Amino acid sequence: MTVSAPLFHTLPPEDVRVHLNAAAPRLVSIDEKEALIRSGVSYGELLTPERAPSAAQTAAYHGALRRNGPRVGQLLAALTAGTLREYPQPVLVSLARAGTPVGCAMRRLARRWGRDLPHHTLSIIRGEGIDRAALAEVQAAHPNAQLIFVDGWTGKGSIHDTLSASLPASVPARLAVLSDPAGVALHAATHDDLLLPHAALNATVCGLLSRTFVTGPGQRHAARREDDLTAHDLTGHYLQALHDLSLPFGPDTPLVSGPRPADPQGAALAAAARLGVHDPHRVKPGVGEATRVFLRRRPAHLLVRDADHPDTQHLRELALASGVPVTTHPDLPYLAVATIAGGAP
């Protein structure tokens, strides 16, 4: 079942074409989800109802926008300009949800520079792969284009690995991200671990779309609209903010990522192992991924590089509120690493 964009989400249709079905998922609590995952049920079949953003999340969003916003505007311009310089016919394919606002902002930038940069968004789920049905729709619309897969940030690099493993052999895994502390993206605006504002929120900065899930073999991946969060929707606010922050930069903005990190994942796993966590699926490195653990999973421990860094303040507050211990590791290559309780992947 396909629902028209104005009814299904609050993303501006001129900024993105959404390739998702509207569906009713299997709703479970966080504890039920962790138990089901441990029993072998795919993460991609389950959805926990999203709660309204907490005060800590909202403060983290606005704080990151004020503190990191100018740099994010520059990173967006650099990634967009680099894409337009390198590819004759680029098409953005953002990975829902973290990539979707980035793709929308890149399309707006290109349009301001007088270029048409088509933007589609579709689902990719670790353990399930990319949505092949949606991908076929994008390919049919742009048969001779170069597809650029857009995400917000990397953690261990799991999405990159999933993308590479699940794409057809004829489609290169060109991953472009704003923040690539894992060092795996083909195109990265920076390899610094940076709190992007939308990492602090979920549906309320992505058109009220839920996390994506699968519904059946061969069918497009699906999402539901989080109607209960309508009063908290900041999608329009965020996209306008990104647009305004990128205004000072032009199509000649250089793409200077900095040095690619050497095995940051190994360092994060070693730090977790010192806490007795040896399952890599329970280790989520990077400030963005650590935030996701506190919003969606059952965190067990938080490791931070700097006990006073403003980009991890919200994580320290969330850890304090939930009784999760916090350990400082000054040699961490990431700003933060979160571990997941139990044996859940």
Distances (CA, A) of 58 to 202, 312, 323: 11, 14, 20
CB 92 within 8 A of CB 103: yes
- What is the rounded distance in angstroms from the CA atom of residue 151 to the CA atom of residue 101? 9
pLDDT at 4: 39
Pick among 3.30.1330.30, 3.40.50.720, 3.40.190.170, 3.60.70.12: CATH of 264-340 = 3.30.1330.30
CB 46 within 8 A of CB 33: yes
- What is the rounded distance in angstroms from the CA atom of residue 199 to the CA atom of residue 57? 9
pTM of the model: 0.93
- What is the rounded distance in angstroms from the CA atom of residue 167 to the CA atom of residue 139? 12
Phi-psi bin for 157: left (phi > 0), alpha (psi -120 to 50), beta?
left
Domain boundaries, the chain: 5-246, 264-340
CB 189 within 8 A of CB 178: yes
Full pLDDT tens readout for the chain, 345 residues: 343 334 589 999 999 999 999 988 777 776 776 675 666 656 666 778 899 999 999 999 999 999 999 999 999 999 999 999 999 999 999 999 999 999 999 999 999 999 999 999 999 998 889 999 999 999 999 999 999 999 999 999 999 999 999 999 999 999 999 999 999 999 999 999 999 999 999 999 999 999 999 988 889 999 999 999 999 999 999 999 999 999 999 999 999 999 999 999 999 999 999 999 999 999 999 999 999 999 888 999 999 999 999 999 999 999 999 999 999 999 999 999 999 997 544
pLDDT at 282: 95
Q: Which two tokens stand for residue 86?
A: 């390198």
